[in-house]
Structure formats: C-alpha cells, structure tokens
Amino acid sequence: MNKQAQTLAKDNDGGSIFKFILSELRPKGRILTPFNIIAIPIILLGIVLIVIRFINGIGSITNLSQDTPWGLWIGFDVVTGVAFAGGAYVLTFMVYILKMEKYRSIVRVTVLNGFLAYLFYAGALLLDLGRPWNVINPIIGNSFGTSSVLFLVAWHFLLYMIAELIEFSPAIAEWLGTRRARKILSGLTMGAVIFGITLSTLHQSGLGALFLMAKDKIHPLWYSEFIPIMFLVSSIFAGLSMVIFEGSISHKVFFDQISEKNHKAQSGILQGLAKICAGAMFAYFFLQLLVFIHSKNWDLINTPMGYWFLFEMIGFVLVPMLLYLYSYRTRNILLIRLAAILTMVGIILNRLNVSVIGFKWDAPVHYYPSWMEIVVTLTVIFTEILIFRWIINRMPVLRDSPAWVEEEH
Amino acid sequence: MNFDRRNFFKTVCVAGATLAVGNSFGAAKPDESNIEFQGVLYDSTRCLGCRACERVCAKNHELPEPKDELKAGVIRKTSEKQRSVINNYVTSKGEVYVKKQCMHCNEPACAAACLTQAMYKTKEGPVVWRGNKCMGCRFCMVSCPFDVPKFEYHSANPKIEKCDMCYDRIKAGKIPACAEACPGDALTFGTRRELIAEARKRIFENPKDYVNQIWGEQVAGGTGWLYLSSTPFNEVGFNTKLQNSSYPELSKGFLYAVPSVFVLLPPLLLGIHEATKNRNQANDEENE
Ligand code: SF4
Ligand code: SF4
C-alpha cells in the first residue's frame, strides 16, 4: 500500500473512502509481466468472440449441436469449475465448525477464490444461455420450475455467492478501514458459514443430479443413481487439491505479502490437507468400486470406453491417493503438489466424462470444442486471475489484518 | 469468534420459508392420473408416405417447406426447421413409413427439467414451449429421452422448436393439422384412453398386420402420441431400451432429500460448533 492510501485507510468511516477507492483502482506494479503478455491479448480476442456470439448466435463460435446441447462451457467452466471451488466450504467447515486453527490463515484466500470462481464460472453460464434476458424469470418468481434440479442449482449458486461475499466482507472492511462495518460483518460470518456449507453440499451434489434424467445418453460406466453422491464426495478433494495448487503458486507470486509465521506454517498445512485428501479419495474410490460391482458392467471394461474408465479411476484417483498418502508420511511437499495436480486432472476428466465425453458417446459425430470455445474459456479464467491479483495486492487476504483489528479484540 | 445466535435463526427462517414455498408449489400440482390427456394414434400400416403432414406442419408453424427427397433407408431427423418428419425404414417386413415428432409424454422429462416452466404439460395433453419464459439453457434437450427439443444455434434470439400438437388449434376445438391433412387416415386424434382402446381393437381384429405392442402405452411412463407398427419397434428407429417408468422420477429422490438436508444440517453444524468451542476453551484453560 502506498503512503497516501495508508493514511486514508486509517481514518475509518470517513468520507474519503471514495477517493481511496479511486486511488486503488490504478494498477500497481509492472504492466508487462509474462502473465499479462499472454493473458491480455487472449482476453481481448475472447471479448470479440463473445460479441460475435451475441450477434450471430451460439452456433457461430461453438461446435454445439442438436445432439450435444452442452459442451465445454457447461462441462468445464461450470461443472468442473464449481467442483474446484469446493475448497471454500470444506475449509470453512474445518476452521469455523471443527476449529482446526492450523488452517485459519488460508481461509480468507480460499473463500475469495471460491467466490470469484462462482462469480466467473457460474457467470460463464450466461454466455451459454440462448435467451439470457429471461434469466430473471426463475429468480423473480413469475415462473418457478420447482421440479427442476437446475432451478435448485441456480438458486443455490446465487445464495452461496452472497454467503461467500459475507464471509469475505471483513477483509473488504479492513481494506477500506471501516471499523464499525467490519464489526457488524464479522458478526455475520458464522451464519454465512453454516448456510454456505448447507448450500454447498446440496449444489455440489445437485450438479451431478442434473444428469440423472439423461440415463440413456450417458455411458453406463459413468451413469448411476449415485452421481450426486460421487460429485459431492469428489468435490471435497477437488477443492482441497485446488487449495494446495493455488496456495503453492500464491506463495511464490505473492511472496512479500505473507508473514514469516505463515510461511513456516505452510508445509504443515499442506501435509494436513494431503491427509484429508487421501481419506476423501479413499472413500470416493471405494464408492466407485461398489457402484461398479453393483451395476455388473464387467463386459464394458473390455471396450475403449472401459479402458478410458480405468485410466481415470486408476491413473487419476488411485495413484494420486497413494501419492498423497506417501507424501504425507514422508513429508515430501513436492510430491504433495504433484498429487494435487494429478487429482485435478482426474476431476477434469471425471466431470467431462459425465457431461461431455460420455454423453452420447455412441453418436456418429462426436463433439469436440472449437478453438473459439477454448479462447472464451481462457478469457473467463484469465479475467478471474486478474481480479484475484488485484484484490490480493490491496486487501488483507494473504497478509495479516491491519493492527487495529487485533486491538479491537 | 463471537457468534450471534439471532443471525443463525434468521438463516433458519429463510431456509424454512424456502421450504414452505417449495412445498406449497408441490401441493398445487394436480394429480395427473385423474386428467384425461388428449393424444394422437399413428398407425404406420396406413401411412402412404405422402408427407402431407410434413408440409402442413411447416405451413402452420411458419417453418420452411421441407424440400429434401424421401429415400428408403435414409433417416432424416427433426430439426429446428422441421418439427415432424416421415422416414422410410427398410425392415424385415420391407419398407415401412414412420412419422416422428414430440411424444407429448404424460410426465415429460423436458418439463421437469425446465427451471422456468417454459416447457409445460397443458391439461389438454400437448407439451408446449413458451418463449417468454425460456432462457435457452437447453436442459430440456439434455433430459428428453426421445431427443425431441431442437435449438436454433444460429440466431441471436433462438427458440426451442418442437411439435406442440397444434395446441392453438386444439384450444379452438380443431384437431392437429397433420391429423386433418392425412389422406390415409393414419393419424387419429382423441383422448388417450379412447386411442388405446382403438389400437387394441385393431391389433385384435388384424393380429397378422401388427406386432402386439402399442409404442407409447408404457414407455417413459406413457406418452400422448401412440404408435402401431407391423414390425418390431426397434426396426423403425425407436430406442426400445428406454425405461417404462417416468423419467422425472429419476431425479425426484434427490429433490425430496433437499428439504431434509436444509432442516437437519444447519443445527448439526451449529451443534458441532458449540461442542468444539467448549473443547477449545477447556484446552486453553489447561494450557494456562
Ligand atoms: S418427447 Fe421429449 S420433448 Fe416431447 S414431451 Fe416427452 S420429454 Fe418432452
Ligand atoms: S431451454 Fe428453455 S424450455 Fe428448455 S429447459 Fe431451458 S428454459 Fe426450459
């Protein structure tokens, strides 16, 4: 924070907040970082594509067809993105409900990540809607489709974003230096956490329940009545692996923000998370095994889709699970990171296998995303990272809260 | 962490209100088994393959007139430009014409999927699409077991296209345009009960002409459009692996679990929170 900003931030509840925000809007640091050089042209191209999409229709930039109504934007951005955002509800559960104090220092950044993920990835849903101007219909209540799983998921996205914003809001108040607001907002945290965890269990599983009616279209190795439970359990280690991955990068990129104490605590945190991931993955693998045995799909294993299934289950569930276990025992941070990456690839595979690859796997023409769909997806991801960086550089997310917060306690 | 109990109760109240609303919506739904839905019986043994139905359908719904040729063994699909098609299937009994369009399910997956009730089962029987409500999410397309709804991918104001059984004509006391136009009397309009009785009668009177099955009587929980055929139905492009129970049933279990989670989980979390709080305090005291 520069000097002027600091003085402004100190005088709380004052009228200078507006001036302060204006001064904070200006970019900080170098503009021509390697990340910016890659990200900004892609974002600009993505914006052009989005304009074309709204003029000429979704088909003008996507490979979607009557056989494949949902492609990369739903299968990856929304379904996979939300699984990765699951870290927020798991961590708030661990810290606020179970009081595992060790993890308190990473709650804020995880909640921020979760919030931005919902904002952008669920927001990407709007790009995929053919008639987005009607998106208010299920919200203002003139046409409630209460029998629809998607109705439930949409509402939960909305409410959960509010809950996460409340959980994060004390950081905003600390940034603005508004003491009274901070006090009120942090009083709301517990309610938001409890509400948020409940919403998360329901919509993480709800995303799986979306596919229940597509019984005859999804490959039987991925379809079962237990998809909702699979999605819920896997969101635990998907989210935590994302926390490990993102935390490892943040520790390098935002090195100067993190206090000495928290730097030292990091390896302990990663080991703890590795242990939890291994446990959740064991439960998940066991569930998958039970469902597989129960469904008697033995003959399907010896087909190309069957090999693909084994590839996912062994290569990207069993292997990273063992890796987590081993690296936890040997305290090998590098292996923990490797396990996190493998797990994340596994989650991407799984969600795409259910929603895109295994969907009408037997259709004569198969869907693959167009380069324009990929650019738009990258645009969404990069914009999210830019905003994330903007916030990290300004608000006390990774760094400790300002001194006055301690004084008040 | 000091925790404000009032906030928690507020949360519970909001959750409770949501539940109450959800339940009242559930209760308002009429019992569908008591309603007499109307539908159409299509008898493929009477179909001449003249495609009068295709043309009159296009004209009635302001869609382009179908110009492509009908060739034996070449299967055309319904599309965003064509709600109803006739195909010529080469079967074990020779060439057979079969018409395809929306089945107008008794318990439509598309309507259960739709979060805005744009897809809607009318009390008369047709399943209709309402553009002022639809947000174009295409969840109906994902869910329909017959792959009927089609989407205009190349429009800035895209519509979902599918047969609506000429709902406007039915409301005006007329019969669907295709049924009126058919010169071979292959399409019969009526209540589902009458149509099933009529189909049974035809099978009974001419057992050699028909396979002993009415497609649509049971599949997907029963459909408004019913089919008679001289060949097994899998030979004329029907997926005979579809389940006989209704498709919305598949996600009902999940939806029913939602209120219980909402009621049970928050108090549980609060309980754990209180328990761990005390434990932590005890620990602190011990340490001091
Ligand atoms: S056939 Fe498909 S589109 Fe038609 S009513 Fe049934 S579920 Fe809906
Ligand atoms: S595309 Fe329209 S009709 Fe189909 S489920 Fe979505 S909102 Fe309903």
Three-class HEC string of B41-86: EEECCCCCCCCHHHHHHHHHCCCCCCCCCCCCCCCCCCECCECCEE
Looking at residue A355, what is its pLDDT?
92
pLDDT digits (tens, 9 = 90+) for A325-373: 998 888 888 999 999 999 999 999 999 999 999 998 888 888 999 999 9
| Paired residues of B225 in beta bridges | B40
In this structure, the number of other CB atoms found within 10 A of the CB of residue B206 comes to 12
Buried b (16+ CB within 10 A) or exposed e, A298-321: eeeeeeebbebbeebbeebbbebb
Confidence of residue B263 (pLDDT cuts 50, 70, 90): confident
Residue by residue, pLDDT tens for chain A (409 residues) are 444 444 444 445 555 777 777 777 777 777 778 888 889 999 999 999 999 999 999 999 999 999 999 999 999 999 999 999 999 999 999 999 998 988 988 898 999 999 999 998 877 888 899 898 888 877 776 667 778 899 888 888 889 999 999 999 989 888 888 888 888 888 888 889 999 999 999 999 999 999 999 999 999 999 999 999 999 999 999 999 999 998 888 888 887 788 878 878 888 899 999 999 999 999 999 999 999 988 878 888 888 899 999 999 999 999 999 999 998 888 888 999 999 999 999 999 999 999 999 998 888 888 999 999 999 999 999 999 999 988 988 888 888 887 777 666 5
Q: Hey, which residues 225-254 in chain A have their CB within 8 Å of chain B?
A: 225, 228
Q: Is A194 within 8 Å of B247 when comparing Cβ atoms? A: no
A151: tokens are 């109705």
Q: Using the mean position of ligand 2's atoms as its centre, give its distance from the Cα of residue B85 in Å.
A: 23
Looking at residue B280, what is its pLDDT?
59
pLDDT digits (tens, 9 = 90+) for A151-196: 888 888 889 999 999 999 989 888 888 888 888 888 888 889 999 9
- State how far the alpha carbon of A313 is from the alpha carbons of A212, A241, A364, in Å: 21, 17, 26
Q: Hey, which residues 232-271 in chain B have their CB within 8 Å of chain A?
A: 239, 241-243, 247-248, 250-251, 253-255, 258, 261-262, 265-266, 269-270
The domain in which residue A80 lies consists of: 33-254+263-399
Domain membership flag for residue A9: no
Write the ipTM. Answer: 0.88
Report DSSP state, residue A36: H
Domain membership flag for residue A13: no
Q: Which one of A194, A199, A205, A218 would you mutate to disrupt binding with B, by most B Cβ within 10 Å of its Cβ?
A: A194
- Minimal Cα–Cα distance from B269 to chain A, Å? 7
- By the CB < 8 Å criterion, does A187 face chain B? yes
- pLDDT tops 80 at residue B266: yes
Provide the sign of the torsion angle of the four alpha carbons B122, B125, B130, B136, taken in this order. Answer: positive
Whether A347 and A281 have beta carbons less than 8 Å apart is answered as: no
Nearest CA to ligand 2 atom 2: B134
CATH number, domain at A244?
1.20.1630.10
Domain membership flag for residue A28: no
- Minimal CA–CA distance to A138: which of A126, A156, A115, A154? A154
- State how far the alpha carbon of A127 is from the alpha carbons of A11, A117, B51, B105, in Å: 42, 15, 39, 31
Contacts of A137 in chain B (CB under 8 A): 116, 133, 135
Distance CA B215, CA A385 (A): 54
Q: Is B273 within 8 Å of A59 when comparing Cβ atoms? A: no
Chain length of chain B: 288
Distance CA A156, CA A143 (A): 17
Report DSSP state, residue A69: S
| Paired residues of B94 in beta bridges | B91
Structural domains of chain B in order of their starting residue, each with its CATH number: 37-249 (3.30.70.20)
| Paired residues of B97 in beta bridges | B88
CA angle A389, A199, A202 (to 5 degrees): 115
Strand order in the sheet with B225-228: B187-191, B38-43, B225-228
A392: tokens are 């990290």
Q: Is A145 within 8 Å of B138 when comparing Cβ atoms? A: no
In this structure, the number of other CB atoms found within 10 A of the CB of residue A173 comes to 20
A121: tokens are 């990835």
Distance CA B280, CA B283 (A): 5
- φ, ψ of residue B81 to 5 degrees: the values are -110, -5
Q: Hey, which residues 155-214 in chain B have their CB within 8 Å of chain A?
A: 155-158
Which residues form the pocket of ligand 2, taking CB atoms under 6 Å from any ligand atom? B 113-114, 116, 118-119, 129, 134-140, 160
- Minimal CA–CA distance to B12: which of B256, B267, B258? B267
- Give the ligand whose atoms come closest to the C-alpha of residue A125: 2
Q: Is A150 within 8 Å of B113 when comparing Cβ atoms? A: yes
Domain membership flag for residue A406: no
Question: What's the total number of domains in chain A?
Answer: 1
Looking at residue A92, what is its pLDDT?
92
A299 residue type, one letter: D
Q: Using the mean position of ligand 2's atoms as its centre, give its distance from the Cα of residue B189 in Å.
A: 27
Distance CA A128, CA A108 (A): 30
Q: Using the mean position of ligand 1's atoms as its centre, give its distance from the Cα of residue B281 in Å.
A: 59
Domain membership flag for residue A218: yes
- Minimal Cα–Cα distance from B204 to chain A, Å? 33
Buried b (16+ CB within 10 A) or exposed e, A67-104: bbbbbbbbbbbbbbbbbbbbbbbbbbbbbbbebeeebb
Whether B113 and B233 have beta carbons less than 8 Å apart is answered as: no
Domain membership flag for residue A95: yes
Provide the sign of the torsion angle of the four alpha carbons B51, B57, B59, B63, taken in this order. Answer: negative
Of A93, A191, A206, the CB nearest to B8: A191
Parallel, antiparallel, or unpaired for β B160-161 and B187-191? unpaired
Domain membership flag for residue A294: yes
- By the CB < 8 Å criterion, does A67 face chain B? yes
Of A131, A137, A216, the CB nearest to B239: A216
pTM of the model: 0.87
Domain membership flag for residue A285: yes
Report DSSP state, residue A331: T
- In terms of C-beta density within 10 A (0-12 exposed, 13-18 middle, 19 or more buried), how is residue A32 classed? exposed
With a pLDDT cut of 90, the percent of chain B lying above it is: 52
